[in-house]
Amino acid sequence: MRRFLTICIAICIGITAIDIATFVKTGTDERPNEAFTALTVLPPHTITDRKKNGYFLLLGFPAGPSLDPAQTGFDIWVEAETDRGHLSFDYMRPGRVRVRVSGAALDALQGWTAPHPGTRLHELGDLLTGPGTDYGLLIDRYQQWLNMAFEDWGYGHLGSPRFTELFLTHRLYVAGGFAQNQGRGVERLARDLYAWRSVLARAKTLPLKMMAVSVVDDDIRLFSGLLGQRDLDPAKLNRLSRLAQPLTRTERSLRWPVQNEFLTAVSRYEQPMSRMSVPAREESDNNKKWLATLAGLPPDAFKRVEHPLSANALARGELQKQRATNTYARYYEATIMASDLPHARLPKLKDFIGGPARAFFDYLVNPVDNIFDSGFEPEWQPFVGRLMETDARLRLVSLQTRLRNMPGPLSVPTFVAQAGDDYYDPFSSLPMLWNPNTNTLYSIARDGKDDDGDPDRDVAVKILAPQESAAQPGKPTEQGAGL
């Protein structure tokens, strides 16, 4: 018996020695694969003059009145560029966050989602237009930004602009137009929507992509509310309608944001030690949590896709570093491809690195893959769903616009079905649903459930007095019917 155990132990030692030799050899011989090479290529800058790039104004947007926000933003970016992928944007220095939105303005802006938003926003009056106020300064900066070219230079960085002031100022800017008159308000709304759809198409980082989709969604919600008013100027309506088309493939794409997460992960593998201060990291995390909540995502949504270092020291070592990043590159490349396809199943990281080792024998059978496994599984689906939700809202509002002039003989379900699959529900690939009892047209949204157009569960819009908005005597209702 003892001899048998000795032989088994010797065999195990031999296998382990062979595996270790293979492990070392594969690590030292590993070269960057095609996926790694493609994902680490930096996109060229198309705006060479930093003074003309609105991205830097966004970074320095809340700076004190005495500072140039664009220069402040550039300074913040240069500091992080000295150790790209490890340093967040530092807003802790004096003067970089001085101008805020609070108090009465915040309360007044709740009218954005009122049944008649134009009337409510008009009531803001002098609050937004008074000279010498911080609100005036923010709106001036926002108007300056709207006139600038834009390119996301945050690619490869951990940081992002502070979104609280930006989002609230976007509302202040549009509301200030309605405080003057409906025409000016609609004009500003159209300008705002155009600018943020451009950012959505150009965003190369996940936080900026989610900020852009949140503002586009916010603008479209307001437009939908305006469509409930019969006196909306037809000329203004036409302009907004052209901007309320479904998302383009570039606007929907998560290619660059996913690639950016891979690039920052590679930075951490190449240099595990971070010089980022704890307060700066906490401020950056809080900014992303605020944005996640705004976008209707879990507060830690951004953290769930931030690729950590492997817990295994061998996977972080020089011998296996390229092996690890090549493996991750194949996963991120597959994620990019799947995220751009409708209803595609997103890949799992564990499918590329194997399952976790549960016993010593697992390391003998599959030593390299089990060393890399850390239990981390990026959760990209919430971000895909968020983009699809805004796409659904845009399709609904486009239909809502057309239904204002619906031909008499057609019913709402027939009209919507004949609009074509560009206006179908992106979550089901079927025509939008119609609830005649509440005059609601709706998408089933991320949960995939038909909730009869409940605005808290479905993506829904109200249709202005459709000809078949209620059941006729002697006819059954069509509540929740598929089109």
d(CA 354, CA 17): 21
Question: In the prediction, which pLDDT does 29 show?
Answer: 55
Question: In the prediction, which pLDDT does 391 show?
Answer: 97
Helix (H, G, I), strand (E, B) or coil at 129: helix
Is residue 197 within 8 A of residue 251, CB to CB? The reply is yes
d(CA 68, CA 81): 20
Question: In the prediction, which pLDDT does 349 show?
Answer: 87
Question: In the prediction, which pLDDT does 319 show?
Answer: 59
Q: How far is CA 343 from the centre of its chain?
A: 18
Closest listed residue to residue 109, CA positions, set 197, 172, 160: 172
- Amino acid in the structure at residue 287: N
Question: In the prediction, which pLDDT does 366 show?
Answer: 45
Question: In the prediction, which pLDDT does 23 show?
Answer: 44
Flag residues of the chain having pLDDT under 50: 15-28, 355-371, 466-483
Question: In the prediction, which pLDDT does 83 show?
Answer: 84
The phi, psi pair for 53, rounded to 5°, reads -95, 115
d(CA 118, CA 121): 5
Q: Write out pLDDT tens, residues 342-398.
A: 888 999 988 887 544 444 434 443 444 444 555 688 999 999 999 999 999 999 999
Residues 6 or more apart whose CB falls under 8 angstroms from that of 288 comprise: 160, 207, 302, 303
* Element spanning 460, H or E: strand 459-462
Burial class from Cβ neighbours inside 10 Å (0-12, 13-18, 19+) for residue 159 reads buried
Q: Write out pLDDT tens, residues 153-207.
A: 999 998 899 998 898 889 889 888 888 888 898 899 999 999 999 999 999 999 9
Question: In the prediction, which pLDDT does 407 show?
Answer: 67
Question: In the prediction, which pLDDT does 372 show?
Answer: 52
Is residue 260 within 8 A of residue 420, CB to CB? The reply is no
Question: In the prediction, which pLDDT does 128 show?
Answer: 58
Is residue 458 within 8 A of residue 448, CB to CB? The reply is no
